[in-house]
Amino acid sequence: MNLEATRTFSIEVIQTLQSAGFQALWAGGCVRDLLLRKPSKDFDVATDATPDQVRDLFGFDRTLPIGASFGVITVQGGKRRGQVEVATFRTDLGYSDGRRPDEVRFSSAEEDAQRRDFTINGMFYDPIQEKILDYVGGQRDLKNRLVRSIGNPYKRFEEDKLRMLRAVRFSSTFAFDLELQTQHAIREYARHIHVVSAERIASEMRRMLTNDHRMIAVRMLRDLTLLHEIFPEADSTVGHALRWSETYHSLQRLTLSDFRIAMALLLRYPCQNSVLNGNPLKPIQPAERVCDRWKLTNDETKTIQWLLRHEYTIRHAEQVTWPKLQRLLIADSAPLLLGMGYAIQRARDYSTSGVEYAESRMSLPEEELNPLPLLSGSNLIQAGFKPGPQFQRVLEAVRDQQLEKRLHTTEEALAFARANWDLDHS
């Protein structure tokens, strides 16, 4: 899908609606992004046409009533142009679950603006007349770089608790201030953030932590007591001024924009605390807990935990045996481990140089750094081994022996596999 094509398509949709006598405008995030001269990820349209009128106009085969209960119809533009959401101006009636309106009533553009979250997200724009419609003071707040709830902030957050995380995201990513009453209301409602699904919390955190201002986001989450609610593991570091300051600086110095590294940096001290507090056999338990709670993907979960297991080793690479270091450097996530190591070293003013050493070893010739494996699964099958759970264990053991230069040929590797094959578990 091509964003420029989606933008043009959304203008065509607006033109079609206007030609049929309806009011139709860009709404919300894309208007904000346009005024900030930032690229938009989607172009939402708001109109006074009812959902049925929208479907009649664009045809049943080109429209989907995906959000019909809220008055939202998706108009399909094909593979290249993507799709545009067309929402009827509405007023939301009641939010008993703290996330979504119970019922909606179709209304005017002005009323529609009043139901939205922040003034910077509450504007409309007519791309044909090139005219802004601003009923909520969004332009003034954009100019003053301020995130402010529309109307009564307590009411806005009572309606939808996700908006608390959105406030922090907009404020941190744009480096805008968060208006005082809006802050007070978040502090008041922070303990109710749990009505938001784990997936939505994780998705907001991904967006905040992959932005360059990630440390501002974490500091705001902490100050507004949201961190304590959604990420108590990381919040536990905050009480320890030195550790918090190092965590903060390492997040700031992180040059790779990667959610997994940012999470590992936030979890580094909580994991150490967990060991110090008498849990030495489960060093990364706090990380396991949050990955599980937020339903992170397998890749995220595995990588965060791998980074936490090995960050110390990479920062002390000169003191590590070569095969041990080599195994880390040939892993898929090695660049992330180096990125994490550098972020910590920078936060400590380069008091160690292990990561530079490790990185210099990465430029060794491929046959030395990452020699072709002596043995594969198909070699084992050809040699008569029965495929099963033992394969991986044996192949990994063979690989270790190879990297330690104890095995040099496939024949030696097969002999080793035979000697180490556990007949009881095959």
Ligand X SMILES: Nc1ccn([C@@H]2O[C@H](COP(=O)(O)OP(=O)(O)OP(=O)(O)O)[C@@H](O)[C@H]2O)c(=O)n1
Residues found near ligand X in the complex (CB under 6 A) = 28-29, 41, 44, 116-117, 121-122, 160, 162-163, 166
Give CA–CA dist 184/223, Å, rounded.
Answer: 11
Find tokens 């033109």 and name the residue: 15
At 202 the three-state DSSP class reads: helix
Taking the least distance from each CB to ligand X, the nearer of 160 and 246 is 160
Taking the least distance from each CB to ligand X, the nearer of 27 and 227 is 27
> Smallest distance from the beta carbon of 351 to ligand X, in angstroms?
39
Taking the least distance from each CB to ligand X, the nearer of 156 and 260 is 156
At 286 the three-state DSSP class reads: helix
Listed residue (99, 100, 108, 46) closest to 71, CA to CA: 46
Taking the least distance from each CB to ligand X, the nearer of 75 and 284 is 75
**Do the Cβ atoms of 73 and 55 come closer than 8 Å?**
yes
Q: CA–CA distance from 355 to each of 311, 316, 334, 359 (Å)? A: 10, 7, 11, 6
At 207 the three-state DSSP class reads: helix
Give CA–CA dist 308/127, Å, rounded.
Answer: 49
**Contact residues for 344 (Cβ-Cβ < 8 A; gap 6+):** 246, 250, 265, 268, 311, 315
Taking the least distance from each CB to ligand X, the nearer of 123 and 329 is 123
Taking the least distance from each CB to ligand X, the nearer of 114 and 285 is 114
DSSP 87-148: EE-EEEE--TTSSS-SEEEE--HHHHHHTSSBGGGS-EEETTTTEEE-SS-HHHHHHTTEE-
DSSP 314-368: HHTGGGS-HHHHHHHHTSTTHHHHHHHHHHHHHHTTT---HHHHHHHHHTS-HHH
Q: CA–CA distance from 280 to each of 273, 283, 317 (Å)? A: 10, 6, 23
- Show the tokens assigned to 213: 């201002």
> Smallest distance from the beta carbon of 299 to ligand X, in angstroms?
23
Taking the least distance from each CB to ligand X, the nearer of 41 and 408 is 41
Fill in the DSSP letter of residue 257.
-
> Smallest distance from the beta carbon of 6 to ligand X, in angstroms?
13
Taking the least distance from each CB to ligand X, the nearer of 34 and 338 is 34
**Contact residues for 271 (Cβ-Cβ < 8 A; gap 6+):** 283, 284, 285, 286, 287, 308
**What's at 292, amino acid-wise?**
D
Taking the least distance from each CB to ligand X, the nearer of 174 and 391 is 174
Taking the least distance from each CB to ligand X, the nearer of 162 and 398 is 162
